[in-house]
Amino acid sequence: MNKNTRIYIAGHRGMVGSAIRRALTAKGYTNLIGRTSSELDLRDQSAVKDFFKTEKPEVVINAAARVGGILANNDYPYQFLMENLQIQNNLIDTAHKAEVEKFIFLGSSCIYPKLAPQPLKEEYLLTDSLEPTNEWYAIAKIAGVKACEAIRKQFGKDFVSLMPTNLYGSRDNFDLETSHVLPAMIRKFQDAKVNGNVPVELWGSGTPMREFLHVDDMADAVVFALENKLPEHLYNIGTGKDLTIKELAETIQEITGHNGEIIWDNSKPDGTPRKLMDVSKMKSAGWQATTNLEDGIQKTYKWFLQNSENYKQVKL
C-alpha cells in the first residue's frame, strides 16, 4: 500500500472513522479523504457517484452508519434499517463500478444469531434468528457483508468485512437516549457523582456478558486489513474476553469515583445473554488487540471529562 494512495474514510469524524484517520496519519499516509454528512449525504446515490467521479478514491473504508443502543434501535427501526442500507449500498456499488480494488466494510457483532454458540464464529452467520432489539441494524449490516462477499466471489476484488465487538473510546456518543452501554454508564456515574453520589439506575439484571474493544485497537485492525490481503471475506474483531454488565458497572463506578448505590431495573430488557467473539481467525492472520479494558475505560473517561461541555450534566 503506497503512502500516497487515495483513501476515502466514510464517517471520518465519528468515533471509529476518526480513530482510523489518526492511525493512518500516524503511519504516514498522506492522501486521506473525508466528507462530513452536510458535505456529502451518503444516502443520496447521485451525490455519492459525483463524489467518486471527482475524488477518485483508490481505497474505501466504510465507517459510516446510523448507530445507537437498544433504546434507539427499538424506537427507530425503519431508519436503522433503511438508512444503513442506503449508505452501504451506495458506497459498495459505486466503489465497485469505479474500479476501487480495496474496500473495508465495518459492521457489528449483532449480525450473529441471538442464541448462537459462544464464542461467536464467523460461520454462525445466518444460522438462526437475530436479537429482536437490534435486528433492523443487524439485517442492514448482514446485507453489506453479503454484498462484499458477492463482489469478492464474482469479480475477485479485495472487499473485506470486519465485525467488531462492542466499541468504546474517544469521541464516543455519551447521549443517554442514543448511546451504547459503556459510554452511557460513564455519563450516568459521572452525573450521579457531581449530584452528590445519588443512586444510579441501570437497565436489566446485570447478568448478560459483553466484550468491549477500544476504538484505537479497531483502527489498528483496519490498518492491518488495509496493508495485508486477507484470505477470507469476513473477520471478527475483538479481544476474546468478556465480563458481566454488573462487573462493567462496578469497574466504571470505581474509575469515575461514584460512591452511591447501583439499582438494577429488572423490568427493562437485557438483550442477548452473551456476545463473545471468536477472534482466532484474525489472530491467525497476524493481528490481535492490545488495550486492556480498565486502561481503555480510563482513557475514555479522561476524554469525556475534557469534552464534558458537549454533554451537559443532568440534575438528578
Kindly list the catalytic residues: 137
Portion of the chain with pLDDT greater than 70, in percent? 98
Q: Is 203 annotated as a binding residue?
A: yes
- What's the distance, CA 204 to chain centroid? 22
User: Once rounded to an integer, what is the mean pLDDT over residues 197-211?
Assistant: 96
pLDDT digits over 266-292, tens only? 999 887 788 899 999 999 999 999 999
Sign of the Cα pseudo-torsion (11, 219, 159, 31, in order): positive
Alpha helical stretches, state H, the chain? 15-26, 45-55, 70-75, 77-97, 135-155, 181-194, 215-227, 245-256, 280-285, 293-306
SS3 224: helix
Side by side, the strands of the sheet bearing 59-62 are 32-33, 7-10, 59-62, 102-106, 158-164, 234-237
Residue 66's pLDDT is 86
Q: Tell me: is residue 240 an annotated ligand-binding position.
A: no
- Residue 315: what pLDDT? 65
In this predicted model, what pLDDT tens digit does every residue of 41-87 receive, in sequence order?
999 999 999 999 999 999 999 999 987 767 777 788 999 999 999 99
Superfamily of domain 7-310: NAD(P)-binding Rossmann-like Domain (3.40.50.720)
Between 269 and 314, the more confident residue is: 269
Q: Which residues, at least 6 apart from 131, have a Cβ–Cβ distance to it below 8 Å?
A: 110, 114, 138, 271, 272
Are 258 and 193 within 8 A, CB to CB?
yes
- Is 164 annotated in a binding site? The answer is yes
165 is in an annotated binding site: yes
246 annotated ligand binder:
no
pLDDT at position 270 is 85
Question: What mean pLDDT comes out for the span 160-173?
Answer: 95
Angle at 63 between CA 61 and CA 65, to 5 degrees: 140
Answer yes or no: is 12 a known binding residue. Answer: yes
pLDDT, position 166: 92
- 17 marked ligand binding residue: yes
Check the annotation: does 180 bind a ligand. yes
Residue 314 is predicted with a pLDDT of: 67
Q: What are phi and psi of 250, to 5 degrees?
A: -65, -35
Q: Where are the domains positioned within the chain?
A: 7-310
Chain-wide mean pLDDT for the chain?
Answer: 95
